[in-house]
């Protein structure tokens, strides 16, 4: 909770003025009985009609002033609460964007989404109500206690005793329910996850006729949510009755002691009435307070969940010092890689060297470590041992963003974002002109895809590009990477959905580019890597072959196996 309070900074004025105006309003409210007393004592007794009218007008005036201060207070409270939550969300997003690949892997998306939405909303509610009510209630409670002391110090001790008891109850319940509310939010994560997964897998789920099963498992999750909500509610619901019992028992005690003291002549009947009135006032305030405390407890529980994210170290924010232009030479020296939580290394002892402008093919079986290898170059993951060098400089020493801005990546999964084609392509470079975009599209063999769309570059793409075929998406993601005119281009099995003709044309076009990038082509197809300057053959995380197509075909058994499985000898001869 402490961690998130720093986002309150800058709203100090609102945080002080809000409650202050609220107090002002409360004070005006407290003045009304005095005015009434004046009306009775002077107006009625003296039969002064003019005075009565004047005093009633005064009451209206007090009402107006009260209204103005209340409105001001509400405004400050709302402004602080909304501003705070806006900054909190923004900070969360920034934090999430700063997470490394491995952190993203371990956290999970659903919980991030609930934390950014539901949890932040709860915190906002809490702050808003706290600013509106927090000062007012203790003010009234303690005020009433002090007034009691002025009447009869001994009887007022009952007040002094009951207030700590009340705080004990209030804070005790708060402590007990806090973890319960955290559990509620965790169950809500589960519900969020169920909806997201259901939507993302809708085709497969429907193909397997899983609708009713999905409903069933969703209902299980909402059931779990309800039972956690109910158990938190059962304890929270004790707050009101318990404070009620405490106060009223104090009243019983007060009346009993009061009766004895009246009997012995220490107190008058009127004083007992006054004391009793103060006790009632405390009760009214406490009821409001109890509701506030429940909201606050929820807010703190949610705040902790947010704080937990904000506290994680995001390694990705670390910046190296070296931020210069690169030429595109890549070298691996004895590189090992291991995923967080994985049992074994996914890459072992990889060494090779590529000159700027060369094309490297990376080939190997499923799970051989091809993606892991190329992910090390833009530091999407870091090597567990050994060094990856770009232009002879260890990538760990380089500014990550600067490095990545010069590398074009086409990921395995062709993801596009909701927005126009132009917006999507400009991910590559924000200031790219339309001409740049068309050039990139030309190379990526995606010109026709865009030409066919109504509005061309302005055509909208639905979420995830669901209105495009797999091959169309892939070509657009390739264009997106090319738009930045990268020094290093990484195509991670990104032509898998392309037909062979398009695949071949694509490779030709990249080869003919004016500033030819150092290109890594990860593929299953021997045809895609065959004409590379160097081919890296991976098998189970090990580099088992390195060299040109002819060299490998002569000497590398794994490569031979891959190649001949795709180009049976008889087909090869008729080619």
Partner 1 sequence: MLKKKDDTLKKVLFRLRRYWAALIMSLILATLNVAISLYIPVLVGQAIDHMVGPGSVDMAAVGQILLLVAVCIGAAALFQWLMSIMNDWVTYRVTKDIRDEAFRHIQALPLSYLDAHPHGDLVSRVVSDVDTFADGLLMGSNQLFTGVMTILGTLILMLSICWQIALVVVVLTPLSLLVANFIGKKTFSMFRLQTQTRGEQTAVINETIGNLKVVKAFGHENASMAQFDEVNDRLEKCSLRAIFFSSLVNPTTRFVYSLVYAGVALVGALMVIGGGVFTIGNLTSFLNYANQYTKPFNEISGVITELQNAMACIGRVFETIEEPIQKPDREDAKVPEVTGALRIKDLSFSYRKDRPLIRDLDLNVRPGQRVAIVGPTGCGKTTFINLLMRFYEPDGGQILLDGVDTQDIPRGALRHSVGMVLQDTWLRSGTIRQNIAMGRPDASDDEVINAAMQAHAHSFIKRLPNGYDTMIGETGVELSQGQKQLLCIARVMLCLPPMLFLDEATSSIDTRTEMRIQKAFNTMMEGRTSFIVAHRLSTIQEADIILVMRSGQIVEQGDHVTLLKKNGFYAQLYKSQFAH
Interactions with partner 1, residue window 13-32 (CB under 8 A): 25, 32
Site for partner 1 in 87-116 (CB under 8 A): 89-90, 93-94, 96-99, 101, 104-110, 112-114, 116
Alpha carbon distance 448, 461 (integer Å): 16
Stretch in the footprint of partner 1 (CB under 8 A) among 7-15, 53-61, 151-159, 160-168: 53-61
Q: Applying CB under 8 A, does 151 fall inside the site for partner 1?
A: no
Q: Applying CB under 8 A, does 527 fall inside the site for partner 1?
A: yes
Return the residue of 165, 237, 310, 509 that touches partner 1, per CB under 8 A: 237
Vertex 192: Cα angle to 191 and 198 (nearest 5):
90
Two tokens, residue 434:
């339309």
User: Which value, in Å, is the radius of gyration of the alpha carbons in the chain?
Assistant: 36
CB atoms within 10 A of CB 244: 14
Stretch in the footprint of partner 1 (CB under 8 A) among 158-166, 169-177, 402-410, 431-439: 402-410
Alpha carbon distance 415, 16 (integer Å): 48
Q: How far is the CB of 136 from partner 1 (least distance, A)?
A: 12
Return the residue of 138, 143, 172, 193 that touches partner 1, per CB under 8 A: 193
Return the residue of 4, 14, 17, 66 that touches partner 1, per CB under 8 A: 66
Return the residue of 26, 126, 132, 529 that touches partner 1, per CB under 8 A: 132
Two tokens, residue 44:
């009625």
Q: Applying CB under 8 A, does 313 fall inside the site for partner 1?
A: no
Site for partner 1 in 421-480 (CB under 8 A): 427-428, 430, 449, 452, 454, 462-464, 466-472, 474-475, 480
Q: How far is the CB of 95 from partner 1 (least distance, A)?
A: 11
**Residue 466: burial class (beta carbons within 10 Å; 0-12, 13-18, 19+):** exposed
Do 249 and 161 meet the contact criterion of CB atoms below 8 Å apart? no
Do 326 and 377 meet the contact criterion of CB atoms below 8 Å apart? no
CA-based torsion, 54, 60, 66, 67: positive or negative = negative
Stretch in the footprint of partner 1 (CB under 8 A) among 36-44, 163-171, 350-358, 390-398: 36-44
Q: Applying CB under 8 A, does 366 fall inside the site for partner 1?
A: yes
Q: How far is the CB of 444 from partner 1 (least distance, A)?
A: 12
Q: Applying CB under 8 A, does 562 fall inside the site for partner 1?
A: yes
**Residue 523: burial class (beta carbons within 10 Å; 0-12, 13-18, 19+):** buried
Do 374 and 410 meet the contact criterion of CB atoms below 8 Å apart? no
Per-position DSSP letters for 267-292, written without gaps between them: S-HHHHHHHHHHHHHHHHHHHHHHHH
From first CA to last CA, the distance across the chain in angstroms is: 69
Query: Among residues 334 and 462, whose Cβ is nearest to partner 1?
Result: 462
Return the residue of 321, 514, 569, 571 that touches partner 1, per CB under 8 A: 571
Q: Applying CB under 8 A, does 409 fall inside the site for partner 1?
A: yes
Alpha carbon distance 92, 564 (integer Å): 51
């Amino acid at each position: 909770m402490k961690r998130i309070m720093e986002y309150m900074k800058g709203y100090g004025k609102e945080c002080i003025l809000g409650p202050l105006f609220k107090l002002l309003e409360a004070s005006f409210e407290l003045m009304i009985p005095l005015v009434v007393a004046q009306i009775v004592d002077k107006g009625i007794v003296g039969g002064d009609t003019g005075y009565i009218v004047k005093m009633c007008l005064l009451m209206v005036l007090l009402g107006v002033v009260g209204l103005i201060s209340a409105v001001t207070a509400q405004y400050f409270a709302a402004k602080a609460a909304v501003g705070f939550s806006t900054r909190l969300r923004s900070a969360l997003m920034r934090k999430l964007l700063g997470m490394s690949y491995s952190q993203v892997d371990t956290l999970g998306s659903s919980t991030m989404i609930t934390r950014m939405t539901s949890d932040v909303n709860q915190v906002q509610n809490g702050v808003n109500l706290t600013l509106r009510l927090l000062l007012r209630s203790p003010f009234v409670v303690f005020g009433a206690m002090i007034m009691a002391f002025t009447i009869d110090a001994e009887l007022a001790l009952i007040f002094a005793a009951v207030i700590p008891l009340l705080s004990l109850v209030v804070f005790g319940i708060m402590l007990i329910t806090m973890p319960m509310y955290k559990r509620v939010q965790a169950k809500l994560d589960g519900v969020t996850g169920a909806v997201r997964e259901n939507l993302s897998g809708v085709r497969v789920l429907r193909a397997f006729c899983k609708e009713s099963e999905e409903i069933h498992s969703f209902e299980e999750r909402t059931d779990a949510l309800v039972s956690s909500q109910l158990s938190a509610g059962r304890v929270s619901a004790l707050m009101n009755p318990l404070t009620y019992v405490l106060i009223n028992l104090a009243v019983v005690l007060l009346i009993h002691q009061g009766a004895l003291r009246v009997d012995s002549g220490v107190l008058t009947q009127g004083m007992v009435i006054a004391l009793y009135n103060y006790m009632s006032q405390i009760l009214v305030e406490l009821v409001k307070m109890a509701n506030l405390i429940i909201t606050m407890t929820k807010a703190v529980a949610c705040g902790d969940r947010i704080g937990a994210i904000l506290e994680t170290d995001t390694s990705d924010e670390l910046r190296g010092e070296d931020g210069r232009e690169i030429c595109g030479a890549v070298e691996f020296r004895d590189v090992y890689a291991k995923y967080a939580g994985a049992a074994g290394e996914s890459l072992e002892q990889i060494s090779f060297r590529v000159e700027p402008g060369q094309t490297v093919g990376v080939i190997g079986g499923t799970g051989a470590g091809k993606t892991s290898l190329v992910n090390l170059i833009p530091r999407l993951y870091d090597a567990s041992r050994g060094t990856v060098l770009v232009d002879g400089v260890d990538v760990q020493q380089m500014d990550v963003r600067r490095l990545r801005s010069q590398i074009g990546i086409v990921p395995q999964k062709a993801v596009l974002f909701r927005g126009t084609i132009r917006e999507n392509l400009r991910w590559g470079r924000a200031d790219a002109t339309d001409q740049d975009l068309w050039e990139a599209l030309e190379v990526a063999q995606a010109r026709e895809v865009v030409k066919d769309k109504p509005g061309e570059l302005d055509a909208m793409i639905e979420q995830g590009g669901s209105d495009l075929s797999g091959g169309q998406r892939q070509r657009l993601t390739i264009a997106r990477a090319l738009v930045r005119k990268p020094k290093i281009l990484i195509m991670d099995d990104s032509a898998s959905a392309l037909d062979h003709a398009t695949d071949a044309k694509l490779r030709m076009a990249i080869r003919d580019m004016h500033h030819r990038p150092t290109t890594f082509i990860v593929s299953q197809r021997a045809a895609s890597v065959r004409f590379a300057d160097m081919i890296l053959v991976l098998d189970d995380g090990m580099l088992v072959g390195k060299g040109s197509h002819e060299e490998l075909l002569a000497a590398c058994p794994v490569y031979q196996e891959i190649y001949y499985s795709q180009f049976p000898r008889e087909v090869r001869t008729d080619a």
